[in-house]
Amino acid sequence: MTDGIPGRGQYTEEARRHRLDWLRARTGAELPSLDTTSLDARALTGNVENLAGSVEVPVGLAGPLLFTGDAARGSVVAPLATTEGALIASASRGARAITAGGGVTTKVLSQRMIRAPAFEFADIATAARFTDWLRAHRPDLDEQVRLASRYARLVDVDPYQIGRYLHVRFVFETADAAGQNMTTAATWQICRWVHDTLAGDDGPAPIWMLLDGNLSSDKKVSVASMLAGRGTRVVAECRIPADVVGSVLKSTPAAMVKGHVTLLLGAQQAGIVGAGLNAVNIIAGLFVATGQDIACVHESGVSILSMERDGDDLIATLLLPALVIGTVGGGTSLPHQRQWLTALGCAGSGGGARFAEIVAGFALALDLSTTAALVSGQFADAHQRLGRSQQADRL
């Protein structure tokens, strides 16, 4: 194809410049800022094809927020990559309130990644027989997983029969990686083993298969992921005295709780998945800064927020049921990304739980601040004041 992007398969700075020049010629745009990049094309073989340049996203600091969690402890400052004014200011305000109340407690409840192939059978009876066969061969499945991956551990085999088709959720723990790829490899290994083992047999052999039939909800928002978990399931909790709610958040525990219940009922009426507020602002900011798969912001953005009064205090909690994150692999080894991860104390092995807890803690801080703003009308004011004034009507 004469019009094709040049340098296909080449991971060099020369190829990058070649593509950029080609794009300039093609579009007539000068693109001066794209000339240089600090990225090393040769190091990106696993990250991007047809490299042409980069995009630089500003990173601001939110916090500090005091953590008293399982993996996240002490005062933490969060680097958020964002272009949306007021976000960091609001998260920091929430962090001040929580810290003044004694900090946020955080806890990872589970970590898992899923692939869910769909197998077609001659009839519903064979599909049901296959379900039994699969259960009986669980040790063989574990063995196949070991052949495909040193890190993936099969923790559940969860079948859903829809007519003649059997969707099987293969559920793995994947250590520090988000794990989509090792999970795919392990499941593919299982699928080939199933095929080979049942071929020519009179066992319940599938007659067709699809590597994933959506029961994994990969890159999708689903109630299934909110229920069963996908990625890291993490919870955060704080207690804030009424006087701090008043002085920092300019609200009262009663007003916050009333606002929260109103938001909950609104969420139900709208058919929202989850019942949070804007946790995804924090998730997106930390995902971009630390090299997570940014597309996973979609599925990771679901949250369930609670608020209650206890005596004079406000107790608030946040559940992130499906945070798809990793501290190795993907973009986490790129220079800036790795260093922001390091600044969070989350780089490398064992950092995943701490990272998840930091996300949950700051997301709770932001939701508190936003709820207070919505309740009192500060929300509209804040967006107008913080850097919006000069462009007032453009946004």
Burial of 107 (0-12, 13-18, 19+ CB in 10 A): middle
Cα 216 to its chain centre, rounded Å, is: 15
Output the six-digit token pair for 25.
């010629």
**Strands 104-115 and 165-173, bridge-based pairing:** antiparallel
Options 176, 237, 293, 367, the catalytic residue: 293
Nearer to a second copy, 160 or 242 (CB): 160
Q: What is the DSSP letter of 5?
A: P
* Of 319, 324, 358, 369, nearest in space to 78 by CA: 358
Q: Does 84 bind a second copy (CB under 8 A)?
A: yes
Question: 10 Å Cβ neighbour count for 253?
Answer: 24
By CB under 8 A, is residue 327 in contact with a second copy?
Answer: no
Residue 27 CB, shortest distance to a second copy, in Å, is: 5
219 has catalytic annotation:
yes
What are the angstrom distances between the C-alpha of 18 and each of 42, 56, 340? Answer: 15, 21, 31
Tokens of 139: 């040790």
Q: Which of residues 178-217 bind a second copy (CB under 8 A)?
A: 178-182, 184-185, 187-188, 191, 208, 210-215, 217
13 is catalytic: no
Nearest to 231 by CA among 172, 319, 149, 276: 172
Does 25 interact with a second copy (rule: CB under 8 A)?
no
107 as an active site residue: the answer is: no
Instruction: Report 28-47 residues binding a second copy (CB under 8 A).
Output: 29, 31-34, 37-39, 44-47
At its nearest, how many Å lie between a second copy and the CB of residue 137? 19
Angle at which helices 87-100 and 242-249 cross, to 10°: 160
Nearer to a second copy, 242 or 267 (CB): 267
Contacts of a second copy in 106-145 (CB under 8 A): 107, 109, 116, 118, 120, 123-125, 128
- Asked if 383 is an active-site residue, the reply is yes
Token pair for 310: 């206890």
Quick one: DSSP state of residue 275? Answer: B
User: Would you say 107 or 137 has its CB closer to a second copy?
Assistant: 107
Residue 277 binds a second copy (CB under 8 A): yes
Residues between 361 and 380 that touch a second copy (CB under 8 A): 373-375, 377, 379-380
State both tokens at 187.
């499941």
Query: Measured from the CB of residue 199, what is the shortest distance to a second copy in angstroms?
Result: 15
Choosing from 72, 94, 105, 352, the residue that interacts with a second copy (CB under 8 A) is 105
- Among 94, 293, 363, 365, which residue interacts with a second copy (rule: CB under 8 A)? 293
Residues 218-237 that bind a second copy (CB under 8 A): 218-228, 235-237
